[in-house]
Structure formats: structure tokens, C-alpha cells
């Protein structure tokens, strides 16, 4: 059997990967929680944001962490416009249509990226890219520790937004009861677009925190999208704390699974959790029962 000296670093490594999954899932869970739609374009928007961070660094020389100031507002603008201009219009009141439109968006974005930037994998080189933290039992790259901290901070900010602001109150009202919210004077399509915008802004933040220790390619979105769904379902759709915990669990599962079953088969653990969760407790660990 494996020694503890291998298991513990694997688990810690899994936690840092899990933080990245949590980052990606936070925006997705907000969008699902409010709009009750499954955003298939989420991974592709992440991919576009990653390219944004990459080119800001490669062409203008902006540090990825500094790029937060540019990428997050642009992410918000793109998300708001997409929901207002395309997704909201196409729904015709049916959730399935939104599923299809976001799928269409994902196909367009992925293949435009393939056309413009080819299938090459690109990464950036920073002074801190190889820096590590020695925790005694394991060595963690600084970039991944920052991502973990960022995930916690963003989850906290989202929680504050939802509980402490008027916008958060309006979002929760729309999520609970669309018609009632519109009867008391809430502009529902504005709230929808705000939620989609904020969700996409979070994707932008995730991209900034992710790229220093990661890479970007046109397919990177699709590698994330199913994992992000798994995290959201596991944690409970619409729950930020759930997304955090779910992300960490998935990260550790993948890491330990890879240790026992090998890289490729190790991924199966993620999907087994996903299917089991969907079947047995679709409301997730921390979600409310529907």
C-alpha cells in the first residue's frame, strides 16, 4: 500500500487543484442559482479570459495578477451583454433553449480560438512561476497557494454581495420567484444580466489567478466545463460554500484516484461522484432541497 508520505502530498496537491476547480465553479453556481440554466459556455468564457490575460502579459507586459483590474470588468461587460443581447432573447421561455444557445456559444468561441491561435498550448513566464512554499509535509507552488486564497476571497465577496446589498437581495428574490419579483418592481431581465455578468466577471478573476501556474489552449475550456458542473452539483447548485467544498473534494479525489488508478482512469472518480450525486442527492451537499 501507499505510505502516508506519498498520500499526504497527493492530498495537498489535490487541494490546490481543487481550489482552481472551485474558482471556476463559483461563477457557474451563481448563474445556475439565479437563472436556473446550465451555462455550457462557461468553460469557453474561461478560455477566452485566459487568452485575454495571456495577451495582456505577452503584448503589453501586464502582470497576470494586475490584469484582474482589466479582465474582471471586461468579463462583467461581456457577460451582461451576452445575457441581454443573445441568451435572454433566445430562451422563448424554455430552459432547453438556453442550454442550446450556450452550447452554440461554446462551439463558436472554442473554434474561433482554434482558428486565430491554433491548437498550441501557451503559458506565461513570471518571476514567481517556480517559487514554492515548504509546508513541511509537502511543497506547494506559490501560484497555487494564491489561487486557493483567491477562491476563498471570491467566495466571501460573493456571499457578502448576496446577503448585504440591495442587488443581492434582488438576485435572491428573482431566483426564488421570478413573477413575484417582477410584480414588486424588480427589473428581472436586468437582474438576470447582472447575475450573468457577475458570473462571467468571476470567470475573469479565475483566469487571472489560474494562468501563472497553468496554460491556455483552445480546448482548455472543455477540460474544465464538466469538472465545474460536477463541483456545482456536488456542492449544491447556487451555493458558494458548496462550490468551495465541492471543488476541494473533487481535486483531492482526482489526485488520490490518479495515484491508485493512473492518470487517465483516475479521472473516473470525478464522474462516478457526479453521477451518484445527481442520482441520490441532486440538491448537493449544501443546497436546498428543490
Contact window for another protein (CB under 8 A) among 18-26, 64-72, 138-146, 261-269: 261-269
Would you give the end-to-end CA distance of the chain in angstroms? 42
Task: Give the Cα separation of 107 and 267 in Å (integer).
Answer: 24
Site string for another protein, 84-103 (x = CB under 8 A): --x--xx-x--xxx-xxx-x
Q: Which of 31, 105, 146, 148 binds another protein (CB under 8 A)?
A: 105
DSSP annotation of 124:
-
- Site stretch for another protein (CB under 8 A), options 15-23, 67-75, 177-185, 268-276: 268-276
Set of cell numbers at residue 169:
437581495
37 binds another protein (CB under 8 A): yes
The footprint of another protein on residues 217-236 (CB under 8 A) is 218, 222, 226, 229-230, 233
Q: Of 164, 223, 271, 288, which one interacts with another protein (CB under 8 A)?
A: 271
Closest contact distance (angstroms) between CB of 16 and another protein is 23
**Residue 272 interacts with another protein (CB under 8 A): yes or no:** yes
* CA 113 – CA 110 distance, rounded (Å): 5
Stretch 112-171 residues interacting with another protein (CB under 8 A): 112-115, 118
For residues 137 and 264, give the distance between their C-alpha atoms in angstroms, rounded to a whole number: 26
Nearer to another protein, 67 or 225 (CB): 225
H helices present in the chain, as ranges: 4-35, 42-55, 68-82, 88-90, 95-117, 142-164, 166-176, 178-183, 188-210, 220-235, 240-261, 263-266, 268-280
Q: What is the spatial distance between Cα 143 and Cα 214, in angstroms, rounded to a whole number? A: 9
- Binding test (CB under 8 A) with another protein, winner from 172, 267, 285, 286: 267
Q: Which is nearer to another protein, 46 or 71 (CB)?
A: 46
Decide whether 109 or 170 has the Cβ nearer to another protein: 109
Distance CA 253, CA 274 (A): 12
How far apart are alpha carbons 148 and 130 in whole angstroms? 17
What's the rounded Cα separation, in Å, for the pair 23 and 49?
Answer: 13
**How big is the site for another protein, counted in residues (CB under 8 A)?**
44
Instruction: By CB under 8 A, name the binding residues for another protein.
Output: 37-38, 86, 89-90, 92, 95-97, 99-101, 103-108, 110-115, 118, 218, 222, 226, 229-230, 233, 262, 264-265, 267-268, 271-272, 274-275, 278-280, 282
Amino acid at each position: 500500500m501507499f505510505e502516508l508520505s506519498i498520500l499526504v502530498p497527493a492530498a495537498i496537491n489535490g487541494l490546490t487543484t481543487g481550489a482552481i476547480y472551485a474558482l471556476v465553479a463559483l461563477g457557474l453556481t451563481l448563474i445556475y442559482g439565479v437563472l436556473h440554466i446550465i451555462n455550457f459556455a462557461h468553460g469557453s468564457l474561461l478560455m477566452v479570459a485566459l487568452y485575454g490575460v495571456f495577451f495582456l502579459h505577452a503584448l503589453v507586459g501586464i502582470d497576470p495578477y494586475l490584469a484582474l483590474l482589466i479582465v474582471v470588468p471586461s468579463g462583467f461587460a461581456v457577460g451582461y451583454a451576452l445575457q441581454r443581447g443573445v441568451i435572454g432573447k433566445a430562451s422563448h421561455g424554455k430552459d432547453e433553449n438556453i442550454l442550446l444557445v450556450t452550447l452554440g456559444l461554446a462551439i463558436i468561441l472554442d473554434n474561433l480560438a482554434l482558428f486565430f491561435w491554433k491548437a498550441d498550448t501557451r503559458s506565461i513566464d513570471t518571476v514567481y512561476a517556480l517559487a514554492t512554499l515548504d509546508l513541511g509535509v509537502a511543497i506547494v507552488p506559490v501560484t497555487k497557494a494564491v489561487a486557493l486564497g483567491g477562491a476563498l476571497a471570491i467566495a466571501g465577496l460573493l456571499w457578502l454581495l448576496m446577503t448585504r446589498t440591495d442587488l443581492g437581495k434582488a438576485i435572491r428574490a428573482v431566483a426564488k420567484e421570478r413573477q413575484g419579483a417582477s410584480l414588486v418592481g424588480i427589473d428581472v431581465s436586468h437582474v438576470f444580466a447582472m447575475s450573468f455578468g457577475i458570473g462571467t466577471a468571476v470567470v475573469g478573476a479565475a483566469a487571472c489567478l489560474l494562468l501563472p501556474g497553468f496554460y491556455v489552449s483552445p480546448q482548455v475550456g472543455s477540460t474544465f466545463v464538466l469538472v465545474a458542473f460536477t463541483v456545482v452539483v456536488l456542492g449544491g447548485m447556487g451555493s458558494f460554500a458548496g462550490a468551495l467544498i465541492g471543488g476541494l473534494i473533487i481535486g483531492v479525489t482526482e489526485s488520490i484516484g490518479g495515484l491508485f488508478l493512473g492518470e487517465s482512469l483516475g479521472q473516473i472518480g470525478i464522474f462516478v461522484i457526479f453521477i451518484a450525486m445527481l442520482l441520490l442527492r441532486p440538491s448537493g451537499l449544501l443546497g436546498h432541497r428543490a
